Amino acid sequence: MSGSTIIFYLLAALTLVSGFLAVTSRMIFRSAIFLLFSLFGIAGLYLWLQYEFIFAVQIVVYVGGIAVLIIFSIFLTQKSGEELPSQNRSRRILSALAALAGMLLILTQIYQHNFVGSTEKPEEVSVARIGSQMLDVTDQGYALPFEVVSMLLLAAMIGCIVIAMRSSDKKQGST
């Protein structure tokens, strides 16, 4: 067993165990911290696959952005010391059965299918190549999705401000 294999199994175990604890823990703040570790594990898997740019994006956006946003919203809406109310047992068992059945179905499909890879020479994943292809307008380029995502981010930003804004003119008396 080489070092690379051991690192893969450690990262996979970190991702899956902390992901499972994130969806089962009754303390909501602990659940957010387990989610953070699970996102770290995924980022480690990207680094293991030698996609350094995706690793950096994952750390910056998920670990630095979304996880912190979720922790803030927990502090704004919950008493984080209290336990969440537990679900009734039949719902938990049925959910677990549904998830396990779906997982078995997909895994049997994956292990029966014979994936055929391309035989062309692999190229290096460099940040310069990602950048130039991202803003390319030819066949291989991703300039149009890039622009559409920038519009989406602008719309989401305006939408967040509008939704979360306290409407002071209507609720002056009530709040």
Partner 1 sequence: MHPGLNHLLFVSTSLFFIGVYGFFTRRNLVTILMSVELILNSVNLNFIAFNKYLWPHRLDGAFFTVFVIAIAAAEAAVAIAIIINLYRSHQSIDVEKAEELKY
Cα separation, 16 vs 7, in Å, equals: 14
C-alpha angle with apex 59: 134 to 28, nearest 5 degrees? Answer: 130
Residue 67 · residue 42 · CB < 8 Å: no
Closest CB 81 distance from partner 1, rounded Å: 15
Closest CB 25 distance from partner 1, rounded Å: 9
Closest CB 102 distance from partner 1, rounded Å: 6
Closest CB 48 distance from partner 1, rounded Å: 9
85/173 with CB nearer partner 1: 85
Cα separation, 21 vs 17, in Å, equals: 6
4/172 with CB nearer partner 1: 4
123/169 with CB nearer partner 1: 123
Closest CB 172 distance from partner 1, rounded Å: 15
Closest CB 133 distance from partner 1, rounded Å: 6
Question: Both tokens of residue 126?
Answer: 């460099």
> Residue 25: what residue type?
S
Query: How much is the CA Rg of the chain, to the nearest whole Å?
Result: 22
